[in-house]
Chain A
Amino acid sequence: MRKTAFFAFIWIILLNITIVSSFCIINSSGAAVEIDPEFGKAPIIDGTIDDSTGEWKEAYKDEIALNDLPIDIWVMQTNRELFISIQLELETEYHNITEFIGILISANASESVEDFVDARFIQFYNISSNNFTYYDYYINNSLFLNDAEEVGQGAGKLDGDVSIYEFSIPIGQYYTNGDNETAILDYENSYAFNITYGDRPLYPEGILKSEIIIININPPVKNEIILTELIFIIFSIIIFAIIGILFGFYIYNIIKLKEKIERLRS
């Protein structure tokens, strides 16, 4: 009996090790995470997340690590733009005064260094006074060169211990300045994004930590879906109104019933 229990115990341990180690293998290879962004209302790119208006409410939310630095990543899209918010929580004194977050964009889903052709940075010059600049570069042989035309938007803000970075990247739009300067995000395609963190305004030398994620760009939603949502909202409001009216009618009946009971008693 004891022998059976011992063997059962060993089997359970071996099974646990197998399951746990298989998860470890999955996590340690390739991109940190593959994201299917949710459609939602376009947020204002100002480095602030306005809870009162439900900004970023519909976004896909996850936590990843840039090497050993945990960050929150929120991804959302509209028919015209991809939105990425990165939040970095560190004690105030550990936020570097010239901290930056960058997004290097691959021309496709490939994670090879030579396929990253575009780079967007939100560079703080004095994080305590929220003094930042948004940069759009193209990458040529590991050199970061200024785009002739700045594409997209970016903003950052230090809010307590959390530095918030917001990026907007156009989808399905082509540029006259030469397509080789900007990664064109097309619908129904996947792209590798290298999220980078650094502490001085030098690229790529200032990059300290990074992690690659894959984002699958969804096809644009048709107006039919919005119309269906509207119909559901109207239906819902009608039902709540009906319940309200029925409540009024029911309360009236309760009062009448009381009078009836009193009349019967007397």
Chain B
Amino acid sequence: MSKIPKDQIKEQKLKIKRRSDDKFAYRTVIISCVLSIIFFVNSLFFNVLVEIGIFSVFSNSNILFGILDVLIKVSTILLFFLFMMISVGNYKELTGKPIGWKELLLLIVLSLGQALLNLWVFAFTFIGLFVIIIYLYLVQEL
């Protein structure tokens, strides 16, 4: 017969689970943050340095290259937003509070701000952010 009460074992198991959850969440915070930094640097290259003409990527362009150019620029911003939101969400979870509208709004403004130099990139980024937020909202509700 075990001398440790059943409640204590349960509590210990819960503690271990919480610790492993925290570890997992912390790892997610770091990995997502690193990924968002990578996409941020890419966004800086494509949305500023290429846009103002310091570097050229598709100079020998036709309409297909134009579409590809916009697609790359929009993707870098949206991926920055997505990974940053995952990172901040997990960070907030670890501190005991859920991510609020204030943080979300700041992320949206900073993401849209990256697309200021190209109207097409701005428009598609706006649509992309809207779709991501709606998707996450619906997933959360379900």
Minimum C-beta distance from A98 to chain B (A):
27
Tell whether, in the assembled complex, residue A56 and residue B30 are in contact, meaning their CB atoms are under 8 Å apart.
Answer: no
| Interfacial chain B residues near A20, Cβ < 8 Å | none
27 A-B pairs whose Cβ atoms sit less than 8 Å apart in the complex: A51-B56, A52-B56, A54-B53, A54-B59, A55-B59, A57-B56, A57-B59, A61-B62, A232-B116, A232-B117, A233-B52, A236-B113, A236-B114, A237-B48, A240-B48, A240-B113, A242-B113, A243-B110, A243-B114, A246-B110, A250-B91, A254-B91, A257-B26, A257-B91, A261-B22, A261-B26, A261-B94
| Interfacial chain B residues near A240, Cβ < 8 Å | 44, 48, 113-114
**Mask of B67-95 contacts with A, CB within 8 angstroms, 1/0:** 00000000000000000000110010011
Binding site for A on B (CB under 8 A): 19, 22, 26, 29-30, 33, 37, 40, 44, 47-48, 52-53, 56, 59-62, 87-88, 91, 94-95, 110, 113-114, 116-117
Q: Which residue of B lies closest to A247 (CB)?
A: B37
For B113, give its contact among A41, A235, A258 (CB under 8 Å): A235
Binding site for B on A (CB under 8 A): 41, 49, 51-57, 61, 232-233, 235-237, 239-240, 242-243, 246-247, 250-251, 253-254, 257-258, 261, 265
| Interfacial chain A residues near B26, Cβ < 8 Å | 257-258, 261
How many Å lie between the Cα of A55 and that of B117 in the bound state? 19
How many Å lie between the Cα of A247 and that of B19 in the bound state? 26
Q: Which of A49, A243, A253 is packed against the most chain B CB atoms within 10 Å?
A: A243
Q: Is the interface of B mostly helix, strand, loop or mixed?
A: helix
| Interfacial chain A residues near B37, Cβ < 8 Å | 247
Minimum C-beta distance from B40 to chain A (A):
6
Minimum C-beta distance from A264 to chain B (A):
9
How many Å lie between the Cα of A231 and that of B110 in the bound state? 17
| Interfacial chain A residues near B29, Cβ < 8 Å | 254, 257
Tell whether, in the assembled complex, residue B117 and residue A236 are in contact, meaning their CB atoms are under 8 Å apart.
Answer: yes
| Interfacial chain B residues near A257, Cβ < 8 Å | 26, 29, 91, 94-95
Q: Which residue of A lies closest to B53 (CB)?
A: A54
Q: Which of A54, A242, A253, A265 is packed against the most chain B CB atoms within 10 Å?
A: A54
Task: Give the top 8 A-B pairs by smallest Cβ distance, nearest first.
Answer: A239-B113, A54-B53, A54-B56, A51-B59, A236-B116, A232-B116, A51-B56, A57-B59
